[in-house]
Every structure is written in C-alpha cells, then in structure tokens.
A and B are shown apart, each in its own frame.
Chain A
C-alpha cells in the first residue's frame, strides 16, 4: 500500500482497502473503491452515501479520464476522501485539486518543496470547477 503524501482534509485518514468498481456492487460492506480510467464514475452515484474513500487511479498521468471522474463525483455531492493514486506528477497537482481530489498517494514520493510550489501556483483561475474557488469572471463581476 502506497502512503498518502498530501492530504487536504481534517477528518481521520481512511485506510480501508479499496475494491474495484466491478466488484463493488457485490461487496455491500466496502467503504472504499478504486476507479480505473475506463470505469464510469456515475455507476457509483447510488452508493456515495456509504463511501468514505474513492481512489482515482492514474496508471499514466497523460491519461486524463480521472479528472472527469473526480469532477463527476464531486458534482454529485460526494464529500468523502477523493484520492489520486498512481502516476501522480507535480505539474498536475493543482489541476487535480481543482477537480476535487483532496488527497494524493503518488507511486513515487514527490519532492516536497516542488509540490508545495505547485499546489500554491495559481492564485486565480479562469473556470469554475469542483474546488469551490471563485473563477476570475466571478471576481470581475462580484
């Protein structure tokens, strides 16, 4: 099991083992699930209430389906931990945050200073997304 390197939540860390989306339906007790790039995140929507952790796997960071999965889950009201796992790279950290990811367990630990710079990089953003930040257009018009 890979360690969580960054976490932006105040509740207790969830360490329940994550099951696959396919096996999730049968394991009604599971409280953690892992979404692969090809999985339809919307299959989980009926069960969000009992899920504490959803891992979004990035086997390669250049496959961006996980960004949509994360936003779809947040838009549906998921408030549990949304964790990026796999090939998580420094340069995408702030964009993952914007899509609603709030914990990070990269396969290879990231340089702390570079990661901090990346999280803090964008003081303003052009779009509304899943992180509740005000887009620039909202700041312009109140």
Chain B
C-alpha cells in the first residue's frame, strides 16, 4: 500500500501546523465562529449534537495495522473508547475537544493519516472498491489512480471553495462495490480494444434530496490525461455550479440543468484548453505510485481446502468471505453489525484486535467498506478458522454480510445536528426482528439502508429496502422506500406511501418481506422480485 515520501509527510505536517494556528486564532478571538467554521470543516471537524466530531480520512478505504492500531489508541486517548466507521470509508470520533484537535492531527500525521478535506465544500476523501487488489474480477487495481487523484485534490488552490461538497469514487471491476454512479464523479478504470487502461467518467450522481444516477460523459480518458480531464470537470462546475441555493449546488443539478450533452461539451472545451497548460503529472508519477500497490508476498501453493465442520464457521465463510484472485487465499469481511448493535461502531479494543489480526493473518492490510464493515483482504484459507475464532471472542463474527442484518445507518438524531429522526434505534429494532440466522437465510441478499434525514448519509435511496426518517411536527416519522440498488444495476428506491412510527415501519418491513417470500420465483432476491412484480402488491399489503 502507499507509503508517504518526504513530500507527502511534509504536506500533512504542514497541515497540522496550519490547523494548530487556526485553533490558536479561534481561541484567541482573531477568528469568529462564522469565519472558523469553514476552516475547521475542511479539517473534518464538525459540531454535532453533543460535542465536536472529527472525521478522519481513510483514503480509498485502505489501512495498515499500525494505522488501525493508532485509530484505536486515539479513541481511548482523546475520545470515549470507540470509533464509528462511515459510508464514505472514513472513521469518526464523536467526543472531540477543540483544544486537543491539533494533537490528534499530529498523532495521525505520525502514521501517515490526516483529516484533510473530510468535510467542507471541497473535494472529499476518494472512495474505492474495498476489495481492490484482491478481487478476482478487477481489470487493474483502482487505488493508484485514487492516490494520484488524492494528491491532486489535496489543497487544490482553485477548488477549495466549490459551490458544494464533491465526492469521487474510483473502481475497476464490472461489479460495482462502491456505489460509483452515486458520486459527483465516478471513475471506472477500463481497458479499450487495444488493451490500454483508461478512465471512464460518470459525472453528476448523488443521493441527498435530489437523487440522481451519474451519466457517462467520457468513455475513455487516457492515463496521461486523467488529471487534466478531472480538472476540466471541476473547473466547469466551480464556474457555473449554482451558488444561490445550497440544495441546488451539487454538480448533479448543473449536469441536469445544462443537460449531459451541454455539460460534456463545456468540459471538452475546457479540457482542450487545459491540455496546453502542462498540468498533468508524468506517467512516471503514476508508475511510482503503482510500485506501492504491487501484490503482497502471497504464499505460492497455499492450500485451497477448508474444514467446514463447525457449522457457525461454515455460515460465516459462506456469508462473509469472498473469492480472492490468489489461490489459497480468501477475502474476509468483519461485520460491524451485531444483532442489536450500532452499525459501524467499534470499541478501541475491537479496533486494535482487528489491527493485530490483520498484521498476523492479512499481510498487514485492512479495508473499510462503504457498508460500514472492515475487510481483511488477504487471508490464507488455512488461517481463516483461527481468524474467525479470534473475531468470535470479540463479538465480531456476525455472519450477515449483505443480508437484512447488515444495515447501513447514518448516526441520525442520536448524534447528528442535521438529523430529523433517530436511525440507530430503528436499525437495532430491525436487526433484532430479522437478524436470526434462519430469517436471514430465508431472506437472502437484502440491503437495508436508513437515513435520519433527507441528506441521505445512510444511502436510503440505494437500499433494496430504504428508510428515511423525517420530523412530523416534532415527532419522529419514517418513510419506507423499495427497489433501490447501488451496484452495476443502480436504481433509486420509490416511496411506498405515508410514513410510520418506529414500530409501524418495522411491521411494514415485515409485510414487505412476506410479499417477497410469497411471490419469489426460483433464486430471486428481494430486489429481483420487486422489479418483476412492481410496487403495487407491496403497497396493497402494507396499506391494505
């Protein structure tokens, strides 16, 4: 994985010094809160319901064990002993003190991490496929391109005060595990007919109050023009994105209002101009970055057999492990969704344990997934049982990946100052009602996603079943959506009808699953059945 050189290290160290200076000026009265707020946000420091919250970037979701250990230590030293993994592959701490923030950033810099641009109206942390470098189906490892973009977007002088936040995702597989088309810019690395690698650009996707699926605007951008093309996309947005209404300021609205053709025309014009400006890093830079992402030292000839006599282990392998490109290895996902638990939360001890296991059994690597889970990307099959045993003792062995218990939920009104309703208690209720192994196996793949407000941090539009919390005259109310999806077959969920209280929405979900089970044909998933029979039978059963 990527290792900082003296320049990268100097950049994060300089940022620590800059933020320390900004905090000094804030506490000393030279900066008002109004002036300080955009500055602290560009360093991932929010004010949430109970305290400051710090969001730490996990670039393209990749971590080593030393970094993971340090994240656990930060939770103990500066917070209240836990961290929350987010849908943007980052980690958040909920009880941060302003005065201590510069020291936290210094601790992060010491392990080549930072909180740069994890909030604010700028280019955010670049997300990617959590199986990158391990997936059997990838064209190339997408992370070198994400790293190239990370460096380009860090402190980009022209794009620090965009109309609104800006999110990239980079993938390189046919199977989209990163919700690529629901980003401001989604990039899919592809090979053309001549076998050359290039970047396919999708621009103007997003969730929030106006969910949109990004259209493709360029089939193939050559690698020696990647940064220049991204710069053109951003410049057109910075100049013409709406600034009169924050709800219409995302690039998806610009692309929608101009039309894909006109936006593309403007980008191509700007691109042609920028090609003459000598802003593209040389291919040698990409090659340099790539040397950090060569395959780790896989054991050749590692055995492929697994002893599955332990039924609990067998279930976990079936649910949570994926095919690795290297024979004898497996990709194992640790679910942070125990029945009745808080989706995405992990205690400092759990974080350090996962770090240790990664060090001992996953060639020192971990990944954070957008579904708020942790991945050990490179586990020898021979070690899987040992890993599972250790996870089991730490209550981290829940076998529910991509099932109804593997709920994505935003922090909701328990933590978030923007939320209208609580998400976590509902997630807990649902996982208790549907989380049994029998129920999960009966329902199969079923992605359930909960947001506590229209900003859609819980990706409710993209859930096979989605729930949106709203405020109805001071009382929490929940709307139900069906039919969303985030993969290669991206679609947006439709609202069933009037909302419910907390128990009511659990009942409605129960009814929806009954409709599925009684209409299911063959191996259909919930989503397949919904797509075949449509909303009407669900609506009728739910509202009768």
Instruction: Determine whether the beta carbon of B282 is less than 8 Å from that of A126.
Output: no
- Cβ contacts B139-152/A at 8 Å (1 or 0 each): 00000000000011
The segment from B52-60, B154-162, B213-221, B307-315 that touches chain A is: B154-162
B238 touches A124 (CB 8 A): no
Assess whether B282 is in contact with A95, with CB atoms less than 8 Å apart: no
Say whether B38 faces chain A, with CB atoms less than 8 Å apart: yes
Q: Identify the stretch in B5-13, B329-337, B401-409 within 8 Å (CB) of chain A at 4 or more residues.
A: B5-13
Known contacts A63-B161, A89-B35, A127 near B152 by CB under 8 Å:
yes
User: In the complex, A69→B235 CA distance in Å?
Assistant: 10
Judge whether A112 is part of the interface by a CB distance below 8 angstroms.
no
Contact in complex: B157, A137 (CB < 8 Å): no
Residue of B11, B154, B159, B282 near A141 (CB, 8 A) is B282
Bound-complex Cα distance A114 to B18 (A): 11
How far does the alpha carbon of A141 sit from the alpha carbon of B285 in the complex, in Å?
A: 7
- Contact A65–B154 (Cβ < 8 Å): no
A13 at the interface (CB under 8 A from B): no
Complex A-B: 18 CB contacts under 8 Å: A62-B161, A64-B160, A64-B238, A65-B239, A67-B157, A68-B239, A75-B273, A91-B39, A114-B21, A123-B14, A124-B7, A126-B154, A126-B155, A127-B279, A128-B278, A129-B158, A136-B151, A139-B7
In the complex, which range does the number of interface residues on chain B fall in?
A: 35 or more
Answer whether A135 and B160 are a contact pair too, CB < 8 Å, given A124-B7, A124-B10, A140-B288.
no
With an 8 A cutoff between CB atoms, is B281 at the interface? yes
Contact of B18 among A121, A136, A140 (CB under 8 A): A121
Interface size class of A (residues with CB under 8 A): 35 or more
Also in contact, A95 and B21, with CB within 8 A (given A114-B30, A126-B11, A139-B7): no
Which single residue of chain A is at the shortest CB-CB distance from B36?
A91
Q: When the two chains form the complex, which single residue of A95, A114, A140 contacts B160, counting CB atoms closer than 8 Å?
A: A95
Interface residues of A in 89-138 (CB under 8 A from B): 89, 91-92, 94-96, 98-99, 111, 114, 117, 121-129, 135-137
| Top 4 closest pairs, chain A to chain B, by CB | A64-B161, A98-B157, A137-B281, A95-B157
Question: Is residue A47 contacting chain B, with contact meaning CB distance below 8 A?
Answer: no
Name the residue of chain A whose CB is nearest to the CB of B288.
A140
Main secondary structure of the interface of B (DSSP, over half): helix
- Chain B residue numbers with a CB within 8 Å of A117 are 21
Which positions 7-61 of chain A face chain B at CB distance < 8 Å? 37, 40, 61
Q: A137 contacts B285, CB within 8 Å? A: yes
In B282-319, which residues have CB < 8 Å from any A CB?
A: 282, 284-285, 288
List, in ascending order, chain A residues with CB within 8 A of B532's CB.
none
Residue-wise interface mask of A (58-83) relative to B, using a CB-CB cutoff of 8 A (1 in contact, 0 not): 00011111011101000100000000
Residues of B within 8 A of A99 (CB): 157-158
> Within 8 Å CB of B35, what residues of A?
89
Contacts of B277 on A, CB cut-off 8 Å?
75, 128
A113 to B281 Cα, complex, angstroms? 34
- Taking A75-B273, A92-B160 as known contacts, 10 extra A-B pairs with beta carbons closer than 8 A to each other, sorted by chain A number, are A63-B243, A75-B277, A114-B30, A121-B18, A122-B14, A127-B152, A128-B278, A137-B285, A140-B7, A140-B288
B21 and chain A: residue at smallest CB distance: A117
Chain A minimum-CB-distance residue to B8: A136
Residue B350 CB within 8 A of the other chain: no
Given the complex of chains A and B, what is the CA–CA distance between A133 and B522 in angstroms?
63
Specify which chain A residues have a CB less than 8 angstroms from the CB of B39 in the assembled complex: 91
Find out whether the CB atom of B30 lies under 8 angstroms from the CB atom of A127.
Answer: no
Q: In the complex, what residues of B have CB within 8 A of residue A129's CB?
A: 157-158, 279
Decide yes or no whether B455 CB sits under 8 A from chain A: no
Q: Which residue of B lies closest to A69 (CB)?
A: B239
Given known pairs A64-B238, A68-B239, A114-B25, the reply for A122 and B155 (CB within 8 Å) is: yes
Please, how many angstroms separate the alpha-carbon atoms of A33 and B233 in the complex?
Answer: 28
- Interface core residue of A127, A128, A135, A139 (most chain B CB under 10 Å): A127
Task: Please measure, in the bound complex, the distance between the C-alpha atom of A65 and the C-alpha atom of B152, giving whole angstroms.
Answer: 19
A99 to B160, CA, bound (A): 12
Q: Is the CB of A68 within 8 A of B158?
A: yes
Any A CB within 8 A of the CB of B121: yes
**Residue B347, interface by CB 8 Å:** no
Q: Whole-angstrom distance between the alpha carbons of A52 and B277 in the complex?
A: 23
Does B22 count as interface, using CB distance less than 8 angstroms? yes
Q: Which of A67, A91, A127, A139 contacts B238 (CB 8 A)?
A: A67
Within the assembled complex, what's the spacing in Å between the Cα atoms of A137 and B286?
10
**A78 → B minimal CB distance (Å):** 14
Which residues of chain B from 8 to 32 have any CB-CB distance to chain A below 8 Å in the complex?
10-11, 14, 17-18, 21-22, 25, 30
